[in-house]
């Protein structure tokens, strides 16, 4: 299992270590991740992944240390069926999971493909039941039948209560217990439309853990509609979840799913919770998924954004040699490079650092003129200067000094 030594690489608030905060996160076993990039993530508007692309992403997820990979929904997609066949032959260390509704035909396709574990989903909220036109008794019957059929065919089941966070507690408990009685091995607490705040996520997860008992693993599956996907997942871990479901880069419908890599980083760095993920490989995997899916990330996105370890501001550049003064964790922890760029907001220290990086000799008395020209050009182009443009400015300044 990948593990990261944090010594000298994390500089977060000591308040996170207070017993009343850290104690709720005490863990001896690592939090594990169930990745649904290839199923729920592909539901991102406009994204279509080929079977070969799914195989390559699965290999990257495997290298990252993801414990389970949800390979797709083969009943409704021949491409997903082909992707599962490819992954099944790829000797991945991660477990390969399928996805199914509480429908026998969905499960028969998983049996045909030789899939040994699956999510089985069914709606539980009154809103969803009304939308599907089925009653509570009908959905309970479908859940029991589907899970029983899966178990008869040797398939391990995690029951996924769709819109669980908007389901009445009494009926949600009834649905989960019915699933366990039918043979489900694990339960998933599901915030289908990101409608649950962190405090409620913790409360509900703790309730489900109590209903299930100590021997039933409980997952959290959340979305990011209020920008709380990571916070709610952390709260669910505090409430007792031992698995977190989500995607790379937070891909998914609407505002996306919870980002499993952000969650792993926060657990490890803020709360010293062991995680089954190699943080040093996150940025590489993020880039591979972006390339395959054909989208770009915000430059300021946590953990994987291009700007995280890039400094333009002169005030910050003066502290560049002391990473802990301007960053909460080291670039090396997540496999990133630190760099100085030049633009409108640069200062004299920025000029020194960039000159040293490029091996240029810039006399102290030439720095103000060089900085002024850097700012002038950056404003004119409304962007950053390239290294070549900076070298041109330095050379031009040297010629002016020689001619004078």
pLDDT in tens, 367-384: 999 999 999 999 999 999
Asked, for residue 4, whether it belongs to a domain, the answer is no
Asked, for residue 3, whether it belongs to a domain, the answer is no
Look at residue 132 and tell me whether its pLDDT is greater than 90. Answer: yes
Look at residue 2 and tell me whether its pLDDT is greater than 60. Answer: no
Q: Both 86 and 169 in a single domain?
A: yes
Per-residue buried b or exposed e for 240-276, using 16+ beta carbons within 10 Å of the residue's own CB: bbbbbbbbbbbbbbeebbbbbbbbbbbbbbbbebbbb
Tell me which of 184-188, 242-246, 355-359 is least confident: 355-359
User: What's the pLDDT at 7?
Assistant: 77
pTM of the model: 0.93
User: What's the pLDDT at 396?
Assistant: 84
Domain containing residue 190: 14-293
Q: Both 184 and 43 in a single domain?
A: yes
Listed residue (183, 261, 196) closest to 223, CA to CA: 196
Look at residue 220 and tell me whether its pLDDT is greater than 90. Answer: yes
**What is the enclosing helix (H) or strand (E) of 267?**
helix 260-271
Q: Both 318 and 383 in a single domain?
A: yes
Report the pLDDT averaged over residues 353-359: 93
Look at residue 133 and tell me whether its pLDDT is greater than 50. Answer: yes
Q: Both 279 and 135 in a single domain?
A: yes
Asked, for residue 302, whether it belongs to a domain, the answer is no
Q: Both 327 and 197 in a single domain?
A: no
More confident site: 23 or 1? 23
Query: By 3-state DSSP, what share of the chain in percent is helix, strand and coil, each rounded to 5?
Result: 50, 15, 35
Q: Both 64 and 105 in a single domain?
A: yes
User: What's the pLDDT at 197?
Assistant: 97
Query: What are 220's strand-pairing partners?
Result: 189, 244
Q: Both 324 and 385 in a single domain?
A: yes
Phi, psi at 219, each rounded to 5°: -105, 160
Q: Both 75 and 209 in a single domain?
A: yes
Q: Both 288 and 335 in a single domain?
A: no
Q: Both 314 and 253 in a single domain?
A: no
Mean pLDDT of the chain: 95
Q: Give the number of domains in the chain.
A: 2
**What is the rounded CA–CA span in Å between residue 84 and residue 55?**
8
Q: Both 324 and 222 in a single domain?
A: no
Given 234, 267, 293, the domain boundary residue is: 293
User: What's the pLDDT at 403?
Assistant: 59
Tell me which of 7-11, 265-269, 289-293 is least confident: 7-11
Given 293, 325, 353, the domain boundary residue is: 293
Given 293, 323, 338, the domain boundary residue is: 293
Q: Both 340 and 234 in a single domain?
A: no
Look at residue 391 and tell me whether its pLDDT is greater than 50. Answer: yes
Look at residue 366 and tell me whether its pLDDT is greater than 80. Answer: yes
């Amino acid at each position: 299992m990948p593990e990261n030594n944090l010594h000298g690489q994390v500089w977060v608030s000591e308040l996170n270590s207070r017993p009343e905060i850290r104690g709720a996160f005490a863990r001896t076993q690592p939090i594990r991740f169930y990745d649904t990039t290839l199923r729920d993530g592909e539901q991102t508007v406009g994204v279509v992944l080929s079977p070969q692309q799914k195989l390559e992403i699965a290999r990257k997820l495997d290298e990252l240390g993801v414990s389970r990979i949800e390979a797709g929904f083969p009943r409704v997609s021949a491409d997903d069926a082909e992707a599962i066949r490819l992954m099944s032959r790829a000797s991945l260390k991660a477990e390969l999971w399928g996805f199914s509704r509480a429908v026998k035909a969905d499960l028969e396709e998983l049996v045909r493909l030789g899939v040994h574990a699956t999510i089985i989903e069914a709606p539980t909220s009154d809103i969803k039941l009304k939308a599907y036109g089925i009653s509570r008794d009908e959905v309970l019957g479908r859940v029991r039948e589907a899970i029983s059929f899966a178990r008869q065919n040797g398939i391990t089941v995690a029951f996924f209560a769709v819109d669980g966070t908007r389901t009445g507690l009494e009926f949600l408990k009834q649905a989960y217990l019915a699933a366990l009685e039918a043979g489900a091995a694990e339960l998933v607490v599901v915030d289908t439309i990101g409608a649950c705040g962190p405090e409620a996520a913790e409360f509900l997860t703790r309730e489900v853990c109590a209903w299930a008992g100590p021997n039933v693993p409980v997952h959290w599956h959340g979305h990011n509609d209020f920008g709380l996907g990571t916070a709610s997942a952390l709260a669910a871990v505090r409430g007792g979840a031992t698995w977190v479901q989500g995607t790379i880069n937070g891909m998914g419908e609407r505002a996306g799913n919870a980002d499993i890599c952000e969650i792993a980083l926060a657990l490890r760095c803020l709360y010293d919770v062991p995680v089954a993920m190699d943080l040093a490989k996150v940025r590489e995997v993020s880039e591979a998924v972006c390339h395959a899916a054909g989208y770009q990330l915000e430059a300021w996105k946590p953990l994987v954004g291009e700007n995280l370890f890039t400094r333009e501001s002169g005030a910050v550049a003066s502290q560049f040699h002391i990473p802990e003064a301007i960053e909460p964790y080291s670039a090396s922890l997540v496999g990133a490079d630190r760099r100085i760029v030049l633009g409108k907001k640069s200062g004299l220290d920025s000029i020194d650092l960039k000159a040293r990086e490029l091996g240029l000799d810039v006399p102290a008395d030439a720095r103000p003129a060089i900085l002024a020209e850097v700012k002038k050009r950056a404003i004119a182009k409304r962007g950053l200067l390239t290294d070549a443009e900076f070298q041109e400015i330095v050379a031009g300044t040297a010629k002016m000094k020689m001619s004078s």
